[in-house]
Amino acid sequence: MTNIKDLAKMAGVSVTTVSRVLNNHPYVREDKRNAVLEAINRSNYQPNINAVHLSTGKSFLVGVVVPYIDHPYFALLIKGMASEALENNYKLVLFQTNYLETREIEALQMLKQKQIDALIICSRKCSWSTIEAYLLYGPIILCEDTRGKRVSSTFVDHYKSFMIALEHLYQKGHRKIGYCIGRKSGTNSRQRELAFKDFVENYHLPYEPAYIFEHCTHFEDGEQVIERIQQMSNPPSALLVTSDEVAAGIVTCAQNRNISIPGDLALLGFNNQPIAKMMNITTIEIPLVDIGRKLFLQGINISKEAAYQEIPVTLIERETV
Amino acid sequence: MTNIKDLAKMAGVSVTTVSRVLNNHPYVREDKRNAVLEAINRSNYQPNINAVHLSTGKSFLVGVVVPYIDHPYFALLIKGMASEALENNYKLVLFQTNYLETREIEALQMLKQKQIDALIICSRKCSWSTIEAYLLYGPIILCEDTRGKRVSSTFVDHYKSFMIALEHLYQKGHRKIGYCIGRKSGTNSRQRELAFKDFVENYHLPYEPAYIFEHCTHFEDGEQVIERIQQMSNPPSALLVTSDEVAAGIVTCAQNRNISIPGDLALLGFNNQPIAKMMNITTIEIPLVDIGRKLFLQGINISKEAAYQEIPVTLIERETV
């Protein structure tokens, strides 16, 4: 098979010149460029793009770390990144981690090995110090509040949005409020927990750990929430549900069991996914596709300074509160 | 600068072995792995993985073409591929095409340029001849019936499964049957259309084009189906719905409008997604995660002969028929 050295010999130029022509480098003398192009034609040379990437130091690949691919929250972030990648002639390399740290480190290793040009971490298990150790190898972008750290981010202030949601429920007369969440660890979840604690303290409400429902990620997880509530002697009257998908599952399960929403149980979802609109779920709108776009652009527009983009959220009132 | 050949010489092993160690490949003898790691330490070698890929001709990346990422059908296929990729130390490069042919060709070009080792096309817009032109550059795997073609595939016989579903509705007494589908073009959709035509002919039923509802992809698309049915003077009494997601949307919208399911309208979904179980939707189970796994393995286990794996489906009776 013809390689880059053969081409150089055929064209009577150096290997560097061939590489520059293959990369559309501007500083190549016209006669040399033509000689290389002619050699390519004569030899039926097929460039191995990894050779090109080796010489340019760019892969035009951006890595994306998500715990699950089959969840609308992450799917919508990826959708935004994918459309911006397309616009900018990049491709996405997907790391589905299931929140295993080893898989996150594999992604970081790919950045170190220059197989990807940037890494976007949508949600993580690994510690901050792990990420810090890879910062010198390329841009790492996070979807969480990184203010004060040397990492760019596009994020929602989950403390603030949780507080908006909690105060809305309070104003509607609710005093027994709980919430459903995917996992308790993680930066965003801890911000939400903090908001919840501050809220009950500010309003002199009891802090009731049983009102916090973990492992609420998918539609079908709504069932266990209803089951646990039905077993409580003093159940919550309202729930924040950090995914509309789960809120929809709770609504569906409640209908099957003749539990009135919002009469018996008020629900306030998050994200404003299409399912929330269709099922008339009151929700906090988080523009996930747009956040995905912004995360991607931070990954490819290299800047020395870390940039922090906070994305505002909006309460959308419908029929479940 | 130390390169992979220097490392191989220092460690007294082959370049392939060094490459395997750098890629965390499982099949490396422990003593050889240690020799390579020691050579890396001594030489202060910083791998540029693109150099490794250039020397091995492998990128350990597999491309995946899907029209949409934020749809459970494709998300579940990707989930299966992602877990098998992890097992085998590969990564996925994602191409979200929105069914634009130019984007599919970009993916094929990456195969040609050896930036990916194989390409899995879950659903496509481009013609068969376009794919054929890229066959010599690497494995292309399709998620459709390719029997008789020189391309491996894992697929469901959509003609057969549509027929199973249609005959179930017929046995339940339905004579006015229609179906909801994402798009009418595409190999799988054409197989389904053919089954539908053969079915109405075999059972001497009228072929009613108004009973075919296109653009039914997401949950919220269920609304337009109910709206159109409500405007019909002679509406269908039963629908096949090629995505449980859409069937769930139809059920939800029907409830809001006091349409009885299955009394006024029977529904038979496809895939057996979790939402179907929770909403008691009768459905044809298609093991998407498993299909994703099999597609991936076909991509990385290169064989000269094309292999065709047909995946059987199962009717799951619940409460919507």
Report which of residues B2 and A48 the model is more confident about: B2
> Which tokens go with A57?
């130091």
> Which tokens go with B272?
């057996």
Q: What is the pLDDT, as a whole number, of residue B70?
A: 77
Strands (E) located in B81-188: 91-96, 118-121, 140-142, 152-155, 177-180
Residue B320: inside a domain, yes or no?
no
Edge to edge, the sheet with strand B283-285 lists B212-213, B177-180, B238-241, B266-271, B283-285, B314-316
Q: What is the pLDDT, as a whole number, of residue A23?
A: 63
Report which of residues A114 and B180 the model is more confident about: B180
Say yes or no: A295 and A275 in one domain.
no
Report the range out of A156-170, A292-306, B23-37 with the highest average pLDDT.
Answer: A156-170
Lowest mean pLDDT among A9-18, A23-32, A154-163, A260-269: A23-32
Q: What is the pLDDT, as a whole number, of residue B48?
A: 64
- pLDDT class of A53 with cuts at 50, 70, 90: low
Q: How far apart are the first and last CA of chain A?
A: 68
Domains in chain A: how many in total?
A: 3
Residue B10 vs residues A83, B3, B24, B54, B294: alpha-carbon distances, Å: 45, 11, 19, 20, 39
Task: Render the burial of A172-209: b for 16+ CB within 10 Å, e for the rest.
Answer: eebebbbbbbbeeebbbbebbbebbeebbeeeeeeeee
> Which tokens go with B161?
């499964």
Residue in A closest to B251 by C-alpha: A252
Q: What is the pLDDT, as a whole number, of residue B300?
A: 94
Say yes or no: A163 and A272 in one domain.
yes
Residue type, A284: I
Q: A114–B48: do the CB atoms touch at under 8 Å?
A: yes
Say yes or no: A273 and A177 in one domain.
yes
Say yes or no: B130 and B170 in one domain.
no
Burial of residue A308 (CB within 10 Å: 0-12, 13-18, 19+) is: middle
The closest CB to that of B48, out of A54, A222, A255, belongs to A54
Domain end among B56, B73, B93: B56
B-chain CB neighbours of A51 within 8 Å are 50, 54
Q: What is the pLDDT, as a whole number, of residue A244?
A: 94
Residue A127: inside a domain, yes or no?
yes
> Which tokens go with A195?
């908001």
pLDDT tens digits for range A60-72: 899 999 998 878 8
Residue A321: inside a domain, yes or no?
no
Residue A318: inside a domain, yes or no?
no
Q: What is the pLDDT, as a whole number, of residue A213?
A: 97
Say yes or no: A271 and A186 in one domain.
yes
Q: CB of A253 within 8 A of CB of A245?
A: no
Say yes or no: A201 and A293 in one domain.
no
CATH code where residue B253 lies = 3.40.50.2300
pLDDT tens digits for range A223-257: 999 999 999 999 999 999 999 999 999 998 998 89
Q: What is the pLDDT, as a whole number, of residue B51?
A: 64
Say yes or no: B100 and B196 in one domain.
no
CA B220 to chain centre: 22
Averaged pLDDT for residues A146-168 = 95
Helix (H) or strand (E) holding B63: strand B61-66
Q: B113–A48: do the CB atoms touch at under 8 Å?
A: yes
Q: B278–A110: do the CB atoms touch at under 8 Å?
A: no
Quick check: A46 pLDDT over 70?
no
Omega cis (within 30) before B262: yes
Distance CA B270, CA A138 (A): 44
Q: A49–B115: do the CB atoms touch at under 8 Å?
A: yes
Residue A74 vs residues A142, A224, B121: alpha-carbon distances, Å: 13, 23, 22
Lowest mean pLDDT among A49-63, A88-102, B164-178: A49-63
Residue A257: inside a domain, yes or no?
yes
Q: What is the pLDDT, as a whole number, of residue A25?
A: 67
Burial of residue A317 (CB within 10 Å: 0-12, 13-18, 19+) is: exposed
Domain end among A22, A39, A56: A56
B-chain CB neighbours of A59 within 8 Å are 50, 115
> Could you read off the pLDDT tens digit of each residue along chain B, which spans 321 residues?
677 888 889 999 988 888 888 776 777 888 998 888 888 877 767 666 666 666 667 888 999 999 988 788 898 999 999 989 988 889 999 998 889 898 899 899 999 988 899 999 999 999 999 999 999 999 999 999 999 999 999 999 999 999 999 999 999 999 999 999 998 888 889 999 999 999 999 999 999 999 999 999 988 899 999 999 999 999 999 999 999 999 999 998 998 899 999 999 999 999 998 889 878 999 999 999 999 999 999 999 877 788 999 999 999 999 999
Residue A320: inside a domain, yes or no?
no
Q: Could you give the residue ranges of the DSSP H alpha helices within A44-135?
A: 49-56, 72-87, 101-112, 128-132
A-chain CB neighbours of B52 within 8 Å are 113
Residue B137: inside a domain, yes or no?
yes
Say yes or no: B281 and B162 in one domain.
yes
How distant is the Cα of A199 from the closest Cα of chain B, in angstroms?
34
- Dihedral over Cα of B25, B30, B33, B34: its sign: positive
Q: CB of A120 within 8 A of CB of A275?
A: no
Residue numbers of the domain that contains A37:
4-56
Identify the residue whose tokens are 């549509």: B162
Give the CB-side neighbour count of residue B147, counting CA atoms within 13 A: 6
Averaged pLDDT for residues A247-269 = 94
ipTM here: 0.71
- Interface residue of B71, B91, B277 to substitute, partner A, most A CBs within 10 Å: B91
Say yes or no: B114 and B192 in one domain.
no
For residue A285, give the 3-state DSSP assignment: strand
Q: What is the pLDDT, as a whole number, of residue A63?
A: 96
- pLDDT class of A24 with cuts at 50, 70, 90: low
Residue B30: inside a domain, yes or no?
yes
Q: Which residues pair with B16 in a beta bridge?
A: none
Residue in B closest to A87 by C-alpha: B103
Say yes or no: A137 and A195 in one domain.
no
A-chain CB neighbours of B115 within 8 Å are 49-50, 53, 59
Domain end among B56, B73, B91: B56
Q: B218–A274: do the CB atoms touch at under 8 Å?
A: yes
Provide the number of CB pairs (under 8 Å) joining chain A to chain B. Answer: 132
> Which tokens go with B297?
């393995």
Say yes or no: A152 and A299 in one domain.
yes
Lowest mean pLDDT among A114-128, A303-317, B27-41, B89-103: B27-41
Say yes or no: A170 and A141 in one domain.
no
Q: CB of B170 within 8 A of CB of B319?
A: no
Strands (E) located in A97-172: 118-121, 140-142, 152-155
- Beta carbons within 8 Å of B46's beta carbon, 6+ residues apart: none
Q: B274–A220: do the CB atoms touch at under 8 Å?
A: yes
- Interface residue of A4, A44, A50 to substitute, partner B, most B CBs within 10 Å: A50
Q: B50–A59: do the CB atoms touch at under 8 Å?
A: yes
